[in-house]
Chains A and B, each alone.
Chain A
Amino acid sequence: MLTQALFRALDKKAIWVIAIFLAVAVLVPMANLLIPPGQFGHVPTYLVSLMGKYLAYAILALALDLVWGYCGILSLGHGAFFALGGYAMGMYLMRQIGTRGVYGHPVLPDFMVFLNYSELPWFWLGMDNFWFAMLMVVFVPGLLAFVFGFFAFRSRVTGVYLSIITQAMTFALLLAFFRNDMGFGGNNGLTDFKDILGVSVQAQSTRATLFAATAIALALSVLVCSMIVNSKLGKVMVAVRDAESRTRFLGYRVEYVKLFAFTVSAIMAGIAGALYVPQVGIINPSEFDPANSIEVVIWTAVGGRGTLIGPIIGAIVVNLGKSWFTTTLPELWLFALGALFVFTTLFLPKGIVGLWHQARDRMRRRTEPEERPEPPTPAQSADIERGEDPASFGHEAQPKPAE
């Protein structure tokens, strides 16, 4: 059963993607550690961490793609799962500081001493154990997504309404984590990390290892997503995306399918957050900002949703652009990001990957002429919108009033 799923999952494309990231996981740390600085091929440590950050973002984008691209659930709150995973990791790292904090308290992190806590809040207990913390990285976002999704999908909250309440969720968490008495460090968040598993977070080798771990996690995420979307369940997910009511009428429990996708996706986002935090060295409530979650959506959209490689490309490309803009032309970054949103939705509904497919199809058609329906041009869309295009009958091209 599992081997079968594995075989199905490992189609040619997925194998390539996984192989590339496994290779990256080995080669980049080697280039960092083995090739001495100054020599050709050396990757400086800061770049390793930066790339690790991008790969963590890529996992997050892939997680969003699983729900949005394959299941049609536009979550505007995936940053919340990411941040929760990050906070779980941050709590572990805080507990590892021990007596090296500014106040030197053996148990309490600095901010708790500062805020006059007499003992550790219950939810901090056990977080000094790495494996327990890792369990929480998976468990907390997963549980939140499960409970949230269970109620939302059972009540058939769909479309824009669901997007808005996921946004409300992350906004509520943002406000909550800003409060000092929540016990998560208020608006300063958790920072000043020292050790992870007994080795320094700052050390070159640790950074290289974290990068490798992130790349491997990304490869595994691709594998898991590939297994899911190539299974029968994956087909049902796509059916839910394309025609939810019809799928329900065919006898599928749409809400469970959605719940599964949402929970798996949240867990992946949590893991991405946990890998992100030690590499950037801080986690604070601004990660819950609804704007962040929307940015994740644009990574996915730029790369191409409904594909496995698209969100990864999107996350890396957009963040490379962000890094470049914010250092060279900081005031233009928001223009560029905003234009990217508009441009992608208008002209690249299938993202970079869609563009690639289009180009490939055109090449093929030149060699073997064949009638293929082209994607509607804006003028055709207008016809469709006016109900004047017979081809549009049947599939939904009309704005839906709330019914």
Chain B
Amino acid sequence: MLILRALRLVLLALPFLLLPSNAIRAQDAATDISAAIQAMGEANLRELEQIVADLAATGSDTVVPVLTALGDGNLYLEETSGAVLIERGSAYLDPLSGEPVELGADADLSKIRVNNGLRRDIAAALAGMTLMSDNPARRLTAAQGFMANPDPANIPLLDEAIAAETDANVLAAMQAARAVTILGDEEQSVADRQAAVPLVASGGGRNALTVLNAALIDAPEELASTIQSAIAGLEQERAIWSALQNVWFGLSLGSVLLLAAIGLAITFGVMGVINMAHGEMVMLGAYTTFIVQLVIRQNFPGLLDYSLLIALPCAFLVTGAIGVGIERGIIRWLYGRPLETLLATWGLSLILQQTVRSIFGPTNQMVIAPTWMSGSTEFFGLSITYGRFWIVIFALIVFFMLLLILNRTPLGLQMRAVTQNRRMASAMGIRTPFVDAMTFGLGSGIAGLAGVALTQIDNISPNLGQNYIIDSFMVVVFGGVGNLWGTLVGAITLGVANKFLEPYAGAVLGKILILVLIILFIQRRPRGLFALKGRAVEQ
């Protein structure tokens, strides 16, 4: 205790000691430190205590490795030369420079021994040094360290630090650390500990729950009730946040479904045809991205970060052109026979898959995420990866662009006319075959865009499309055709429902449940959520 207090005085004095810093002082300090470290070799425990206190008093970052090593029992004395060395793995480092030292053949190493009391002193000294550091980030780490290993002995130290702290973030962390420590210290008064509960709880998260639960174990009655209510509050908060997190995951999944399904919805709505090769268009979009990135990496490495943006129009054009080709080559011969179109496009999907497999091989390809899409951020309690975030944004952009095309362009007008009444549209002079080809091209192009986005969350393999095709169908039949909003609502609903079922039923069972629910839903509304209204009877 006495030493601690002495140490604290030294620590308090530290900033003042260091204030008139100049080259000479620094020089002096350096020699002092190296002398003190040399002295460690022959010192007994009592002297070591003094040296540790002296070293801590320098407040210099250079002493941190030595003190850490001493505390961990990694500090050695080389008896022949009298040098003090830090052991790291099989190497021995100079304590100040951190350079490895070549040992002579006659080297005789002995460990510098410490006892528990000294170890505690060292830990306190280290924590105190960092807690008083000039660098706020460092202070924050120290405070968090105190919170993770609460020790009543640190309370006075924290008090000092709190009094001197100016940075709000660090201050909050220190106060939280102090509260955690007080709560865990049974020698403190019940009132103090009670007062600490809300502070601990405000930290939130799993840590706060652990601390509170630990404190609950043998807490006096009134304290226990306070803690319990705090725990209940925290649990509730956590439930809300985890629900929100699920919503986010659901949105993320839903946006992927939306991207994959929206092109399908257009072709189905206008032409009454389910394009089984739609998944392969997604896959081709992903491979286009792969090729674009390959070309950029080899020829224009500077543009690598923008390769996804460059790939977007490429993928749209490539898959759109293939889509027009398919429509002109195959589908237009099969009008009026939607079920056979389904079979022909299925056959086409097999051919496309096998073609890609022959060219690129069956193994997965990689597309590197640009820097602005990697990493994640904490948004209150939610962890959001940038990749997912951009995909959600991208899906919405595509959706609204498409809405704009359908509602504000001549092509969109013609498409809507053909959707609603093909014969009438034809009679009014709309070239329905042209509209069909354009629609199919547009739907396929959007599938290609989806492929670009999917490179960020899925493996690029010839089977990529297969994984999404059934889900896309589900979205389309659930949302109903002829109305883009149906697809949006369908995709988001399925995504969120899937993620909400997952924790209770498991991923596979959740998916089965969704499929069964969709089958049941189709019984209720055979034309989906947002069915086109019309007077014509089928056939």
Contacts and interface: CB of A to CB of B under 8 A. Distances in A.
B519 A165 contact: yes
Contacts of B269: 401-402
Given A175-B508, A396-B539, A151 B523 contact: yes
B336 interface: yes
A154 B520 CA distance: 12
Contacts of B508: 175-176, 178-179
B347 interface: yes
A74 to B, nearest CB: 5
A381 B335 contact: yes
Interface stretch (A18-26, A41-49, A52-60, A293-301): A293-301
Nearest to A153: B523
Interface in B509-523: 509, 511-512, 515-516, 518-520, 522-523
Please classify the interface of chain A as helix (H, G, I), strand (E, B), loop, or mixed, using the class held by over half of its residues: helix
Interface stretch (B14-22, B175-183, B415-423): B415-423
Interface string A152-172: 101111111101110111011
Interface string A372-403: 00000010011011110000000011111111
B102 interface: no
A335 B518 contact: no
Interface residues of A, number: 61
A338 B419 CA distance: 29
A355 to B, nearest CB: 16
Given A294-B343, A387-B426, A155 B523 contact: yes
A159 B338 contact: yes
A8 B352 CA distance: 47
B334 to A, nearest CB: 6
A161 B432 contact: no
B175 to A, nearest CB: 49
Interface stretch (A96-104, A217-225, A341-349): A341-349
B342 interface: yes
Contact of A345 (B343, B349, B421, B524): B343
Contact of A168 (B341, B353, B423, B474): B474
Contact of A338 (B271, B354, B357): B354
A119 interface: no
A244 to B, nearest CB: 6
Interface string A81-98: 000000000000000000
Please classify the interface of chain B as helix (H, G, I), strand (E, B), loop, or mixed, using the class held by over half of its residues: helix
A389 to B, nearest CB: 12
Contact of A161 (B357, B477, B534): B477
B348 interface: yes
B534 A403 contact: yes
A245 interface: yes
B509 A341 contact: no
A165 B422 CA distance: 26
A385 B335 contact: yes
A175 B347 CA distance: 24
Given A159-B339, A341-B346, A167 B526 contact: no
Given A172-B515, A301-B343, A164 B330 contact: no
Interface in B345-396: 346-355, 357-358
A27 interface: no
A334 B527 contact: no
A160 B342 contact: yes
A273 interface: no
A340 to B, nearest CB: 7
B536 interface: yes
A165 B522 contact: yes
A403 B419 CA distance: 9
Contact of A402 (B358, B482, B522, B523): B482
B470 A176 contact: no
A346 B334 contact: yes
B105 interface: no
A35 interface: no
B142 interface: no
B340 interface: yes
Contacts of A158: 526, 538
B538 A245 contact: yes
B191 interface: no
B272 interface: yes
B481 interface: yes
Contacts of A168: 470, 473-474, 515, 518-519
A243 interface: yes
A399 B272 contact: yes
B350 A401 contact: no
Interface string A293-325: 010011001000000000000000000000000
Interface in B491-539: 508-509, 511-512, 515-516, 518-520, 522-524, 526-527, 531-532, 534, 536-539
Contacts of B511: 172, 175
A167 B470 contact: yes
A164 B278 CA distance: 14
Range, interface on chain B: 35 or more
B204 to A, nearest CB: 36
A400 B421 CA distance: 9
B441 to A, nearest CB: 16
A278 interface: no
B482 A167 contact: no
B406 to A, nearest CB: 15
B419 A169 contact: no
A381 B333 contact: yes
Contacts of B433: 382, 385-386
Contacts of A345: 334, 337, 340-341, 343-344, 347
Given A159-B338, A403-B532, A338 B350 contact: yes
Interface string A138-158: 000000000010011011111
A219 B531 CA distance: 45
Given A400-B272, A401-B269, A402-B482, A331 B358 contact: yes
A270 interface: no
A346 B343 CA distance: 10
Contacts of A176: 508, 512
Nearest to A176: B512
Given A338-B348, A338-B351, A341-B343, A245 B515 contact: no
B332 interface: yes
Nearest to B507: A175
B273 interface: yes
Given A244-B538, A341-B350, A403-B532, A160 B274 contact: yes
Nearest to B473: A164
A245 B537 contact: yes
B270 interface: yes
Contact of A398 (B344, B347, B422, B481): B422
A33 interface: no
Interface in B244-292: 268-274
A337 interface: yes
Contacts of B330: 342, 346
A7 to B, nearest CB: 34
A160 B350 contact: no
Nearest to B474: A168
B532 A334 contact: no
Nearest to B340: A345
B124 to A, nearest CB: 52
Interface string A238-254: 00000111100000000
A339 interface: yes
Contacts of B420: 401
A185 interface: no
B335 A337 contact: no
B524 A155 contact: yes
Nearest to B513: A172
Interface string B462-488: 000000001001100100111000000
Given A157-B526, A331-B354, A401-B420, A378 B348 contact: no
8 contacts: A154-B523, A160-B272, A176-B512, A338-B352, A341-B344, A346-B330, A401-B269, A401-B482
CB-CB nearest 3 A-B residue pairs: A341-B347, A338-B350, A338-B351
